[in-house]
Amino acid sequence: MNRRELARLGWREHSLAYLEKHLQGYKDSQAYQEQYQSVFFFASPLFQKMWEKELQNLDEVAAQDLLRGVMKLLLMPSDLSGTCEETAFLLSRIAPDCPPGSDFWKAFSRVVQIAFEKDPLADQSGDQLLKRQVHQLRYLLSSYQAQWIRTHEARAVQTDEEALQAYLQEARAITVDAYAAARLHNKVSVTSDGHLHYPSGASQQVNFKILLNFHTEYILDQDGQFLNEVDPYQISENGIVNGASFNYGLARGRTHKDLDIDPVKAWDPPFRKQVLYQQGIRYLAPKNDRSVEGYWSRKGVFAQGGKSYKQQVAQRVRRFLRGIPRLRWRVLLQNGLHRIL
């Protein structure tokens, strides 16, 4: 066990003491090495246990050191390129079996919250490289969680939606929010004459959002396919524009705005900005009101059949929930049955 090597990754003494004691239980040299090497894979079971130890008496400096260590382990670039090859490589640096509902995602988010409590993530000060990497890691983590569902739940000819439904039908101790606002994930370009230009050249767009324990975010299109900014197999304009991003913040309070919303403008990768603000087309979210270009308007440019954009998304969510008998009525009731049906 190389303490100096591990300390350079941000691990503090009490975590190293735990690791040393843990490794002493492995008398076989091969098993010992396998356990030791697993610490260098983000989200491995042993990595998770040490990360939990680090939450004890963690301050801002130590939290940022831990995150720098994660970036070293992942070989995280200063900016994601968005290519399938890069994404596949980065995902290979993450242990393959950390479920979307794992408590680790809460623990990881807690370190980010501590790291940028006094040094706002969106501010272009302090360690700007770390801030850029931490922000863009959100896209990689969402891609990882989409791939986890595809790998562990998908069957032949299944859509991503059906695989996610299968996971949620069996999963326990997970808070599911199927009616989370999807306005920001339905960006559209509105031309000067009022015509709508949807990403990927689509004729219509009804993307919806599923949150698990708030941190894990899935965005699906109307055909039931995951939308992500980065993906190891296929890239779509709709995914780049409207895709999922892991949430570091909490549902209540300022952390969601500080860690997940405000940093986008400062630290988004160039490949995404080029798509969002390409010449002649600018993708923007519907306005959060009942104006002509409003998300809530039943008569505006986004309305169809007398239904607002919000109502169209809610209707699509109900269709998703019908595929999860165990959850359907509980989620409906949690979100105000009288407002939805």
pLDDT the model gives residue 24: 93
Higher-pLDDT residue of 300 and 156 is 300
pLDDT the model gives residue 156: 72
pLDDT the model gives residue 70: 98
Instruction: Tell whether 21 is covered by a domain.
Output: no
pLDDT the model gives residue 334: 61
Model confidence at 337, pLDDT cuts 50, 70, 90, reads very low
pLDDT the model gives residue 155: 81
Instruction: Tell whether 323 is covered by a domain.
Output: yes
Mark 224-253 as b/e (b = at least 16 C-beta within 10 Å). bbbbbbbbbeebbbbbbbbbbbbbbbbeee
The count of residues in the chain is: 341
Distance separating the N- and C-terminal Cα atoms of the chain: 59
* Mean pLDDT calculated for residue range 58-62: 97
* Mean pLDDT calculated for residue range 114-142: 97
pLDDT the model gives residue 280: 76
Tell me: the pLDDT tens digits for 289-325? 999 999 999 999 999 999 999 999 999 999 999 999 8
Whether residue 139 contacts residue 245, with contact meaning beta carbons closer than 8 Å, is answered with: yes
Task: Give, for 210, the enclosing helix (H) or strand (E).
Answer: strand 208-212
Instruction: Tell whether 34 is covered by a domain.
Output: no
Model confidence at 339, pLDDT cuts 50, 70, 90, reads very low
pLDDT the model gives residue 153: 87
DSSP one-letter code for 228: B
DSSP one-letter code for 257: I
Whether pLDDT at 15 is above 90: yes
User: What percentage of the chain carries pLDDT values higher than 90?
Assistant: 84
Model confidence at 338, pLDDT cuts 50, 70, 90, reads very low
Whether pLDDT at 333 is above 90: no
pLDDT the model gives residue 329: 64
* Mean pLDDT calculated for residue range 150-168: 89
Instruction: Tell whether 185 is covered by a domain.
Output: yes
Whether pLDDT at 214 is above 50: yes
In the chain, the amino acid numbered 114 is I
Whether pLDDT at 218 is above 50: yes
Model confidence at 123, pLDDT cuts 50, 70, 90, reads very high
**Domain encompassing residue 268:** 75-340
Instruction: Tell whether 88 is covered by a domain.
Output: yes
pLDDT the model gives residue 101: 95
The C-alpha atoms of residue 91 and residue 143 are separated, in whole angstroms, by 8
Lowest-confidence segment of 92-101, 146-155, 277-286, 316-325 by average pLDDT: 277-286
**Domain total for the chain?**
1
Tell me: the pLDDT tens digits for 175-193? 999 888 899 999 999 877 7
The C-alpha atoms of residue 67 and residue 226 are separated, in whole angstroms, by 27
Higher-pLDDT residue of 326 and 68 is 68
Lowest-confidence segment of 10-19, 111-120, 164-173 by average pLDDT: 164-173
Instruction: Tell whether 37 is covered by a domain.
Output: no
Instruction: Tell whether 27 is covered by a domain.
Output: no
pLDDT the model gives residue 210: 96
CB-count exposure of residue 159 (10 Å: 0-12, 13-18, 19+): middle
pLDDT the model gives residue 335: 60
* Mean pLDDT calculated for residue range 71-98: 98
Average pLDDT, the chain: 93
Model confidence at 6, pLDDT cuts 50, 70, 90, reads very high
136 phi, psi to nearest 5 deg: -70, -20
